[in-house]
């Protein structure tokens, strides 16, 4: 190719790129105009999640590796008291139910995806929504996804290093975690139905493993082995800070009950599906958690539970015989199911934040052939890889439950404002006012107790949260909107449009 031909090709590429950028910008503006005029047409996520899928996402998100690994934190926090430990598990289930019923109302009242973020923004404005959004997107959700993938890798490799589990190479676990992460990212990018099917399969496996443990433990108890339940409320010393830590550990294990609200726009008949899915999806984990801990205490002593070894593994060694080899794969599948659920919900938060204009607009793009928010999923994947590379992020795990419970409490506290902004209809499920009052009051008491007794552990989340305030005002500034970052956003949008065949989602008007 001569010099003139090269210059011609280069000039044509430049013209085409500029035209594509202008087309992407015009397309974005046309979608915004279309939403403003109330036109129901446009690119949106499809309604394809029924009762089985939504219940599976809730059950699969709640029942994770926590109940299989160890309830050590709960037992230690209440002074090694079996009775108080079971009481904490029951109390956490009741508190979670109060918050979940408020979210059941939100799901039928606010017809918009995003979950906690959407409810905080609807009640308290853009600033509060942005502060919650960036902490969830940049820290909490990728951290949760990375932990689930690392836990799954840990228990897939555990049979290979069964005699010395601590000798498993960290790099090998990280590489296996990358494979698990990549598999579920690809599945969620390919199809919503495939992701929901994988979630249903993992839910069946983890519930099956818990039923096996419960059955074996109750059978052991019925055989007259009640020595571990003698004097159940005898303690070795209980402190207010220990109880707060115990309740936080329990609430962390119950986390995930809000996942369906994050994808309300994809739920079929939400006025019927969401309340039923939340009620059933929360009842199953609560019952299995309580019975599972009864089974653990029936077979294992307090010293064995607090030894730091995975409780399910010790339980299998003591009671299940050759069936113990089923427990480890089920724990791995359970952790993988958590990763799948977090990927599904987290990318929806990214998607809604981009569509609302609080985050870059390319996050709100949807793959036209697949109907999935592929740019948002890729963004979550890139951030999660950083946490997986660290190998061990347990040092910041304490902030996870604090962030999540705090955001949900703030969302529930705005229920009066949500009701005023979105009046009742014949398809609205309305919860009694006692439920939000109990949930908010319990969280405030728990937070004050935890901060007073261990300020160094719980105050850093507040500092990280406050960093969202200057970030919000920076994102509103002219430098942010008209500088080079705008050009970067246009080029990323072009790549998503050309490579992923994505279009901007239509702005949802309520």
CA 30 – CA 64 distance, rounded (Å): 43
Range with lowest mean pLDDT among 1-10, 36-45, 102-111, 206-215 = 1-10
pLDDT of residue 148: 80
Banded pLDDT at 17 (limits 50, 70, 90) = very low
Please tell me the total number of residues recorded for the chain in this structure. 510
pLDDT mean over 184-201: 84
| Residues 6+ positions from 84 with CB-CB distance below 8 Å | 78, 233, 235, 238
CA 122 – CA 210 distance, rounded (Å): 39
**Torsion angle of alpha carbons 205, 208, 209, 213, nearest 10°?**
170
pLDDT mean over 91-120: 88
What class does CATH assign to 43-504? mainly alpha
CA nearest neighbour of 180 among 204, 202, 205, 148: 148
Dihedrals phi, psi of 267, to nearest 5 degrees = -90, 135
Q: What is the 3-state secondary structure (H, E, C) of 69-130?
A: HCCHHHHHHCCCCHHHHHHHHHHHHHHHHHHHHHHHHHHHHCCCCCCHHHHHHHHHCHHHHH
pLDDT of residue 31: 36
Q: pTM for this one?
A: 0.73
Domain edges within the chain = 43-504
For 300: left if phi > 0, alpha if psi spans -120 to 50, otherwise beta; the answer is: beta
CA nearest neighbour of 402 among 441, 358, 448: 448
pLDDT of residue 412: 93
CA 2 – CA 14 distance, rounded (Å): 19
Is a pLDDT exceeding 50 seen at residue 428? yes
Long-range CB pairs of 208-213 (<8 Å, 24+ gap) are 208/330, 209/68, 209/312, 209/326, 209/327, 209/330, 209/331, 209/334, 210/63, 210/67, 210/288, 210/292, 211/288, 212/320, 212/323, 212/326, 212/327, 213/292, 213/295, 213/296, 213/312, 213/315, 213/327
* DSSP letters for 222-255: HTT--GGGSSTT--S---HHHHHHHHHHHHHHTT
| pLDDT, tens digit, 9 for 90 and up, residues 112-140 | 877 888 899 889 988 988 888 888 877 78
Angle between helices 434-453 and 82-109 (to 10 degrees): 130
In the chain, pLDDT over 90 holds for what percent of residues?
Answer: 8
CA 475 – CA 272 distance, rounded (Å): 39
pLDDT of residue 345: 76
Higher pLDDT, 439 or 31: 439
Across the chain, mean pLDDT equals 77
Is a pLDDT exceeding 50 seen at residue 486? yes
């Amino acid at each position: 190719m001569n010099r003139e031909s090269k210059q011609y090709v280069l000039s044509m590429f430049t013209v085409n790129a500029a035209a594509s950028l202008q087309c992407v910008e015009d397309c974005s503006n046309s979608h915004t105009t279309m939403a403003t005029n109330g036109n129901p047409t446009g690119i949106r996520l499809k309604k394809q999640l029924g009762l089985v899928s939504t219940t599976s996402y809730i059950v699969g998100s709640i029942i994770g590796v926590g109940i299989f690994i160890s309830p050590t934190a709960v037992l230690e926090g209440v002074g090694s008291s079996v009775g108080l430990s079971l009481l904490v598990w029951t109390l956490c289930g009741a508190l979670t139910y109060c918050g979940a019923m408020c979210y059941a109302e939100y799901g039928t009242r606010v017809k918009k995806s995003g979950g906690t973020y959407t409810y905080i923004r609807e009640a308290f404005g853009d600033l509060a929504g942005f502060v919650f959004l960036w902490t969830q997107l940049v820290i909490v959700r990728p951290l949760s996804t990375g932990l689930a993938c690392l836990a799954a890798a840990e228990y897939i490799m555990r049979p290979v290093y069964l005699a010395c589990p601590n000798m498993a190479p960290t790099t090998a676990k990280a590489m296996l975690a990358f494979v698990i992460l990549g598999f579920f990212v690809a599945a969620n990018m390919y199809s919503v139905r495939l992701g929901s099917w994988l979630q249903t399969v993992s839910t069946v496996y983890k519930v099956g493993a818990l039923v096996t443990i419960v059955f074996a433990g109750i059978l052991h108890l019925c055989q007259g082995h009640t020595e571990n339940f003698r004097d159940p409320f005898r303690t070795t010393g209980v402190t207010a800070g220990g109880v707060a830590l115990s309740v936080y550990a329990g609430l962390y294990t119950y986390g995930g009950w809000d996942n369906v609200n994050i994808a309300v726009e994809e739920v079929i008949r939400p006025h019927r599906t969401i309340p039923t899915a939340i009620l059933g999806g929360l009842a199953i984990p609560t019952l299995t958690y309580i019975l599972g801990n009864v089974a653990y205490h029936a077979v294992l002593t307090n010293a064995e539970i607090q030894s730091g070894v995975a409780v399910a593994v010790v339980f299998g060694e003591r009671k299940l015989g050759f069936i113990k080899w089923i427990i480890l794969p089920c724990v791995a599948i359970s952790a993988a199911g958590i990763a799948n659920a977090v990927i599904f919900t987290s990318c929806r938060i990214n998607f809604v934040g981009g569509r609302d204009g609080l985050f870059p607009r390319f996050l709100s793009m949807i793959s036209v052939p697949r109907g999935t928010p592929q740019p948002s999923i890729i963004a979550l994947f890139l951030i999660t890889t950083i946490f997986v590379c660290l190998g061990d992020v347990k040092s910041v795990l304490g902030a996870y439950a604090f962030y999540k419970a705090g955001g949900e409490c703030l969302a529930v506290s705005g229920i009066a404002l949500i009701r005023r902004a979105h009046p009742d209809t014949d398809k609205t499920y309305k919860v009694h006012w006692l439920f939000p009052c109990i949930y908010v009051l319990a969280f405030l008491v728990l937070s004050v107790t935890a901060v007073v007794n261990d300020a160094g552990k719980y105050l850093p989340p507040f500092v990280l949260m406050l960093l969202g305030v200057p970030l919000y005002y920076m994102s509103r500034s002219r430098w942010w909107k008209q500088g080079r970052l705008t050009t970067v956003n246009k080029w990323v949008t072009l790549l998503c449009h050309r490579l992923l065949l994505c279009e901007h989602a239509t702005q949802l008007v309520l």
